[in-house]
Amino acid sequence: MGLLAKKKQRREAEIPTSSMADIAFLLLIFFLVTTTIDVDTGIGMTLPPELDENVEPPPVKERNSLKILINSAGQVLLEDLPSSVAQIRSEVQTHVQNQGQDPRYSESPRKALVSIKTDRQTPYNMYIATLDEVWMAYFEIWDNEARGMGFLNYHEYRASLESGDENVIREKWPAQISLAEPDTGE
């Protein structure tokens, strides 16, 4: 009796761990396959809140807004002059950086506004191309400013900011892009 009991106690029940790696591998492969590493990229915008019908939108001086019109055929009208998408970037830059010198352009960077108006039939990729050019104009201005502050580019400046810090560059050159209200008429 005593001998038998002793023998049973000694035999320890062990789970074989040799297959553990294989099980883990299978799970790993599953998650590898389902993972999408690619980051979503796009042009970020903040829409204006819905307007109260009784409240008039704040008036903007004619010279402070740069109007870009894209018609249904995808043709660009820059301040009532037919032009190409490639011209937008430099035009936006002269408009924003005018500092009140040329009476046709903005009074100051903080008052400068870029307004994009489209038609219902405007091709979407033309709209994106225009928006892209406008943003690139601002990015280039910001890059310049960041270089003046001793950074390599604006991206590096952004990375150097702590969460509570004020973004001085954007404060100085705010990107004010207005996506005009569509015409309710017609």
Partner 1 sequence: MGHFTKKSKAKPEISTASLPDIIFMLLIFFMVTTVLREQEVQVRTILPQAEALTKIEQKRYVSYIWAGPEKLRGNRFGETRVQIDDAVIEDMTNIRNIMYRKLTEEPRLIVSLRVDETSEMGVVTDVKQELRKGGTLRINYSAKRDISGL
Q: Which of the stretches 39-47, 53-61, 80-88, 90-98 binds partner 1 when contact is defined by CB under 8 A?
A: 39-47
> Beta partners for 115?
67, 178
Q: Is 35 in the site for partner 1 (CB under 8 A)?
A: yes
Alpha-carbon gap, residue 60 to 111, rounded angstroms:
9
> Beta partners for 68?
78, 116
CB 113 within 8 Å of CB 178: yes
The one-character DSSP state at 112 is -
> H or E element: which one contains 27?
helix 20-34
Binding track, positions 70-109, relative to partner 1; x by CB under 8 A: ----------------------------------------
Q: Which of 96, 97, 77 is nearest to 87 (CA)?
A: 77
Q: Is 45 in the site for partner 1 (CB under 8 A)?
A: yes
Chain positions 3 to 32 lying near partner 1, rule: CB under 8 A, are 17, 20-21, 24-25, 27-28, 31-32
Binding residues for partner 1 (CB under 8 A)? 17, 20-21, 24-25, 27-28, 31-32, 34-37, 39-50, 118-125, 127-129, 131-132, 135-136, 138-139, 179, 182
